[in-house]
Amino acid sequence: MTDSPAPRIPLDPKEQPILDKLLAVRTNLELLKQDRSTYVKSQDVIDLYNQVIEQVVVLNEIRTSKRLEQNRVDTVLDDCFQLTSLAFLTIGKNHEAPAVYSFVSTTKRLLDHVKEATFYSPKDLESVSARLADCRRYIERGKEAYSPELLTLLDARIELCEKTLGELQLNLSHLTPDLTPKWDKLVSILRSMSACNTRSKFPNDEVDEYLEQLKEIQEELRPYGIVAYESTGSKEEKLAEMTEKLFISIAHPEPAPEAKKLIETLLQRNFVWYALIKKKQGYISPAFKETYDKLLEIRNKLEKLSLTQAWSLRETDLYSFQRQLDRVDETRVDGNFFDAVGRPAELYEQRTMLYLLRKSYATIYHLLVSSEPVSEALLPIYNQLVTLKKCLVEVKKNGGVASPRELYPYSMKLNSIDNMRVDGKFMIGSDVPDGQGSVMSLLAECFDIAYELRNDAEDSGSGEKSGGSESGQDELTK
């Protein structure tokens, strides 16, 4: 496996044994990840995590006078932490401190890209803020159980994320309540046009619809004195001037732009982007086609995973995607991509590849956030219960059932799952996988909904019988 990108400096001979042991641990973690013949067992993951921490302690003793050094040991150590973090998610220990590592790493990348892009939605920041607060709680709760070295590292990384998050929140704080919906709409349109631009067949009609929406928003913004950049020259000259201005705004973003400037820049960017993608129609220069195709493939695979997550995702699968994206991201210089002979990408190629890169990081973030705190060994049971609950809720929403008999299929399935328990627990062989509480809670919810539906059906049936007998008596007395 290729290491994550990192500075290569000479390795201290004293650190060679540490590197060798970390490489062995990483190999074992990768084998654990790749083995689909059985589920990942908690004890295997915890044993490998402990081996990593042992090497961290030894490394800290060697580096007492060179804390800031970064060499191959650090890149392999990061791989080990990343893999163990994802493995903790796989075994259902989502709320434990080691599981935080992968999430924080992805969040840091995502926030850096959001800051660089200078356009984002307040809802994006709200989600990240809430998740970072959760991470803080998991670390606080794990002080007694986990290594102080790991907790210190996580605390520092979360602090970096919170600092960037604060800067992003400050930028949007200039938006007034009446301008915020228009800002959100412009962000949505820009992202939607970028998504259209990466389709196998360029959707001209759909992109033209976005142009009409942009024109409508521009008219709504005129009373605020906000307009897209205008030129008296030809269409080509106008596009060239707008593109140049966009390059300048990307290279030198204002630290805390006022609302007018903030929205005006985003509106301009939308019009420039519309013109560029209409002109290029998805064509990527041959010099950047390989990188583009790689990013497109990663994005497509991640989106497919997000659709089938509950049934097919093993969180450790995300490791290879993270590393591939990191390697592409690290090749950029001053934010841009360069070809084999050192020429920078044009604005169109740059923004297209950055969209794919950022979209992929955002999808990984979503997959990590939506990971259920249930071991993959219990996921088949958990997913069946999720489906059962959805069905029962839908039945209840549509007026319930006419008779208890209609609930038999649901009751039989619930009872069959309930009968799988041994001494009140769901066992896999002799193991008790993590996530018992989540599965039990979901099972109880399903039983409660089914019980309510049965009672409603019985009450309804009793009422009809009572009404029917009274009606019959009335007929007899006539």
376 has pLDDT over 50: yes
Mean pLDDT for the stretch of residues 393-411? 91
| Final residue before a domain boundary, out of 280, 307, 323 | 280
Q: Report DSSP state, residue 313.
A: -
The three-state secondary structure class of 377 is coil
Answer yes or no: is 48 within a domain: no
Could you tell me the CA-to-CA distances from 312 to 284, 324, 380, 469 in Å, in that order?
A: 33, 21, 10, 55
Answer yes or no: is 273 within a domain: yes
Amino acid at 77: L
- Which of the four pLDDT bands, split at 50, 70 and 90, describes residue 1? very low
Tens digits of per-residue pLDDT, 263-311? Answer: 998 999 999 999 999 999 999 999 999 999 999 999 999 999 988 876 7
Answer yes or no: is 358 within a domain: no
Q: Residue 259: its pLDDT value, please?
A: 82
Answer yes or no: is 249 within a domain: yes
Whether residue 123 contacts residue 169, with contact meaning beta carbons closer than 8 Å, is answered with no
Angstrom distance (rounded) from CA 251 to CA 264: 17
Question: What is the average pLDDT value for the chain, to the nearest integer?
Answer: 87
Mean pLDDT for the stretch of residues 238-266? 60
Answer yes or no: is 144 within a domain: no
Tens digits of per-residue pLDDT, 325-360? Answer: 999 999 999 889 999 999 999 999 999 999 999 999
The residues pairing with 338 across neighbouring beta strands, listed in sequence order, are 344
Whether residue 87 contacts residue 37, with contact meaning beta carbons closer than 8 Å, is answered with no
122 has pLDDT over 60: yes
Mean pLDDT for the stretch of residues 35-44? 89
Tens digits of per-residue pLDDT, 193-210? Answer: 999 999 999 999 999 999
Q: Residue 249: its pLDDT value, please?
A: 47
Evaluated on CA atoms 306, 312, 314, 319, the torsion sign reads negative
**Alpha carbon of residue 18 to chain centroid:** 33
| Final residue before a domain boundary, out of 235, 250, 280 | 280
Whether residue 388 contacts residue 443, with contact meaning beta carbons closer than 8 Å, is answered with no
Count of CB atoms situated within 10 Å of the CB of 401: 18
Residue corresponding to tokens 């500075």: 7
DSSP 44-56: HHHHHHHHHHHHH
Angle, CA 56 vertex, CA 12 and CA 71 arms, to 5°: 35
How many structural domains are present in the chain? 2
Answer yes or no: is 404 within a domain: yes
| Final residue before a domain boundary, out of 238, 254, 280 | 280
Give the residue numbers spanning the domain of 425: 379-477
Percent of the chain with pLDDT over 70: 87
Whole-structure pTM value:
0.85
Q: Report DSSP state, residue 141.
A: H
Answer yes or no: is 260 within a domain: yes
Q: Residue 313: its pLDDT value, please?
A: 81
235 has pLDDT over 80: no
Which residues 6+ apart lie within 8 Å of 417 measured at CB?
Answer: 381, 384, 385, 443
Higher-pLDDT residue of 311, 14? 14
DSSP 190-203: HHHHHHHHTSSS--
- Which of the four pLDDT bands, split at 50, 70 and 90, describes residue 66? low
431 has pLDDT over 50: yes
Answer yes or no: is 171 within a domain: no
Q: Residue 242: its pLDDT value, please?
A: 55
Whether residue 203 contacts residue 360, with contact meaning beta carbons closer than 8 Å, is answered with no
Mean pLDDT for the stretch of residues 117-126? 89
Q: Residue 255: its pLDDT value, please?
A: 35
